[in-house]
A and B are shown apart, each in its own frame.
Chain A
Amino acid sequence: MDDLVKRFLNGERRALARIISRVENGTPEGRDYLRTLFPHSGRTHIIGVTGGAGSGKSTLTGALAGEYRKRGKTVGIVAVDPSSPFTHGAILGDRIRMQEHALDPGVYVRSMAGRGALGGLAPTIDDVVSIMDAFGFDYVVIETVGAGQDEVEIAGTALTTILVNNPGTGDDIQALKAGIIEIADILVVNKADHPGADVLVSQLQALLSLAPKGSRRPPILKTTAIKNEGMEALADAIDAHRVELETTGKLEEHRAEDARHQVLSITRSILLERIRAATSESDLAALVQRVAARELDPHSAADELAAAVAAQS
């Protein structure tokens, strides 16, 4: 067996960190590691923390990890920050809010750059989470890029999705809109020591009361993460949601859906990769130029590209 794998299975964090890098970068070596370690995954409870920029996701994630440590549980954290759309560089600053766990061997924090992925995640987030899952943390928490209204992808990867709201950020019509609010398994009103927290809670309650009969009503919790307030109730709500998933059969359903999504999305990138390989850069440039000049519509252009691969295989 590969020495790195052996050290990984022995619980060595440096081996974990090294394997994550390879998997994050999607190198052939990374693929081998994923193949070897994937069978060890599937035991961890995966939590997603999403919400607007500055809503307190990192602080909440750090405080939640503190609560789990009190309960004797280990936590792996993947914190995603955006990449520059121009230079593709990134500043990853979520660790700053999690300093109290800096030297705790029961907490591992890994920063990831979004690298252009949609949905507030990173292109290889599923693979990195699988590796952290295989390492054997009791909980893995994914913190998304600051999300607005429509970044719902986290609900596919996470088993429990927490949406972090803040008082004073919009009226009840905002909460009535479709999108991100629908994927929340738990609604958190963070910065609850700020004015307007109770108003927001009642607005959210009123909104949830409009949901069709029999549909699940996510709990609404008030937290002040910076003061570690409300973390016990949050950890309890996450555990209750896990039990709910298990007893209703939703856990298997969720896993099957996530597996389908992962397989299809990887297939999509393989096919795109093949199309790119089958088409020369100059042919592609000529084709898109015709679209830009309005001589050809984008759908027909895509059909032409796809046909090139079909002809090859």
Chain B
Amino acid sequence: MKGAWAWQRLTATTVAVFVMSGVAACGQNEFTYIRDREGTTYFKVPSSFSKVDSYPIDLFLNGHDPASAAAAEARNRVWSTAFDRAEEPNAAHLLGSAEPFVYATVHKLDDEERGWVSLNRLRDFFLPVTKERRAMLAEQAQAFGQQPPFTNFELLLDEPVTRDGGRGVHVRFNYRFKDTVQTFDLTSLLDEAGDTVSALVISCQTQCFQARMAEIDRIKDSFKLIRLPG
């Protein structure tokens, strides 16, 4: 009799678990969860963001010719993804958009890069942030007799970050690009072994950024490195 009661309880529990999980599984997820190729870096963006092709951004940042061998080699070492909140998602929205844009990348460093990587390098990982870097770029532009594309740099935040065994920086800055002021939020982390740099860039026009600060912070805070046990 007692055994029968135990069995009934077990059945009831099983059915309940199935019903609950079924109900739970029926809904739509609030976030999209993203992991890099190796599974070492992960974060989440709200489901309202759409995924866009991030390869043009990679090319823009490293300046490679898409047909070059360097570009192909970089493709092996660099993983990236991009999400756009805009109605019509576009990779160009990274540099100027009224809606938030998320760009994440993971670089495997080669030996040379491993040698010179530093917090300043991490700050300059996306756009020139440090004074030296900005000065150097300005000089280069002057030398070529060109107007630098990004002007009116304003540093809003600069703090070191230690997260999941990795360390890095979190910087937030403004740049003027084609008449609009864009705010960039960069979290740049070097993993514990010093082999990989993971970076997350969230960009938006300044007003938009201020309006959506909470959402942007949540995305930024979800950016994590995996830490294997042992």
Q: Do A and B bind each other?
A: no
A residues contacting B by CB (< 8 A) are: none
Give residues in B with beta carbon < 8 Å to A: none
